[in-house]
Amino acid sequence: MRAPSPSSDTPRGASLTARIARLGAVSILVLLPCSASASEKIEGIVERVTGKTVILDSSRIRVNDEVKLSGDAARLSEIEIGDWAEASGDWNEQGIFEAARIKVERLAPGASFADKLKSASEDETKKLDKSGKIHSDEAVTSYVSRVGMGLVPEYAGSEFSFSFSVIQDPSLNAFALPNGAIYVHTGLLAKMDNEAQLATVLGHEISHVTQLHGQRQYKKMIAVMIPAQIGALVLGTEVQRRSDNPVLSFMTAVGLNLGMAAAVNGYGRTLEDQADRVGLRYAVETGYDPRESPKVWDTFNDVYGEESKTENFFYSNHSTNEVRKQNLKDEIELHYAAGGPGPGAAGVDQATYQVTMLGVIRENAVEDFNLKRYRLAEKGFERVLAQAPEDAVAHHYQGRILLATKENPESRPRSTTSRSRSIPTTPKPTGTSACSSRR
């Protein structure tokens, strides 16, 4: 079970300082009045330099003439996009970080591992391509790729070979390889409501790449990689028996060392929380409604509750689901309260998402039924019927769900109706998107 955050019991109505403490003690990257604390530290990859403002992590860093610069930049004009920077200073009342000192390095920590990680990433990408697990629906893959590429910062497009693929697997999972290859499972796509929530997940994974979390965490990844492989092999029989936790068996079967490290062991609480913040910034800057981001955690809680699972792509030593949901709410309140699009804006796009993912939602609902997760299966088929009211597969399985769960007599007519509208034999999911399966 995942260890709870030390500050997870901070009340919602706590003071600003207390709420900020929830966002992480190592890199506090929110809008803190200068009177509340001093000598805060922000570190990460420089992603934009505009005038005397540097964008670092999720924050605006003001670099005045009095700032002491060291390392590879003696003055503001020498700071380059892609540099590693460590800034110390305080927050002003306008929510801008007033830097006192900035250390700049051309190379981020772990740079000596970059070539090795790139080569290993390319090898694992080839393994995944040959695994037979890549989802074949071009409409779904193109949609995910379009959303993902739209989130990638301009500078990063030439630094990394970003690609977005969909893995046919019912788990709520996504992971990124250090070279920019990003994978999202159909199980996660089927449970999200709209494009803005998809952008939250993809933004998180993109951030792992742009913030160089792979090389920064490489030594720790190596330290846990072999134990994780051994653990996966030891758990192999149990994992296969417990079909609600397929990720370890899948990673082990395909031979994904980096994938296992990223998707199962994770990058640790500090870097995962940074990916949440930076990913949210990518989504907001692209035009998505930030208020949809915390709802992703409602999805995880609905499926798993607060307890972590081995198939969860936010696994290992991460803040709990509820804490990360609250962190995003705090980040939105403090950074984006006045800047996000309004209700019903194009930055949500539920209709297109639901239509495009109809086939995925149907297939995953069938998987949930086969796993005897009847409540989740029922929800999935209800979403299918909202788009395609005469869908025979959904009606067939709704009837089977009612029979399997032994509903009370008042519910029996619904079972009969559903089964009468279904096809005569047990249907197989088409595997197509809504664009080709809608009636």
pLDDT in tens, 324-342: 899 999 889 878 876 544 4
Cα–chain center distance at 101: 32
* pLDDT confidence bin for 10, thresholds 50/70/90: very low
With 60 as the cut, is the pLDDT of residue 367 above it? yes
Q: How confident is the model at residue 312 (pLDDT cuts 50, 70, 90)?
A: very low
For the domain 31-105, what is the CATH code? 2.40.50.140
CA distance 177 to 164: 11
Confidence of residue 411 (pLDDT cuts 50, 70, 90): very low
> What is the mean predicted confidence (pLDDT) over 357-386?
95
Residue 196 has pLDDT above 50, yes or no: yes
Confidence at residue 92, expressed as pLDDT on a 0 to 100 scale: 84
Proportion of the chain above pLDDT 90, given as a percent: 50
Q: What is the pLDDT of residue 304?
A: 75
pLDDT for residue 43: 96
Would you state the structure tokens that stand for residue 13, as one six-digit string?
Answer: 């109505």
Q: Which of 175, 178, 320, 302 is nearest to 250 (CA)?
A: 175
Lowest-confidence range among 2-16, 206-220, 423-437? Answer: 2-16
Higher pLDDT, 49 or 229: 49
Buried b (16+ CB within 10 A) or exposed e, 345-362: eebbbeeebbbbbbbbbb
Residue with the bigger pLDDT between 127 and 150: it is 150
- pTM for this predicted structure: 0.79
The H or E element spanning position 182 is strand 181-185
- Predicted confidence at residue 185, as pLDDT, reads 93
Domain segments of the chain: what residues?
31-105, 112-336, 358-437
| Segment among 75-79, 131-135, 237-241 with least mean pLDDT | 237-241
Instruction: Compute the residue count for the chain.
Output: 439
The backbone torsions φ and ψ at residue 325, rounded to the nearest 5 degrees and listed phi first, read: -60, -45
Binned at pLDDT 50, 70 and 90, residue 237 comes out as very low
Residue 418 above 70 pLDDT? no
**Percent of the chain clearing pLDDT 70 (strictly above):** 68
The predicted structure's pLDDT at residue 232 = 38
Task: Write the single-letter amino acid at 156.
Answer: A
Mean pLDDT of 72-99: 92
- Rounded to the nearest 5 degrees, what angle is found at the Cα of 135, between the Cα atoms of 231 and 292? 85
- The pair of structure tokens assigned to 173 is 């999972």
Task: Give the residue, 203 or 221, on which the prediction is more confident.
Answer: 203
> Average pLDDT over the chain, rounded to whole?
77
Name the band, by pLDDT with cuts 50, 70 and 90, for residue 355. Answer: very high
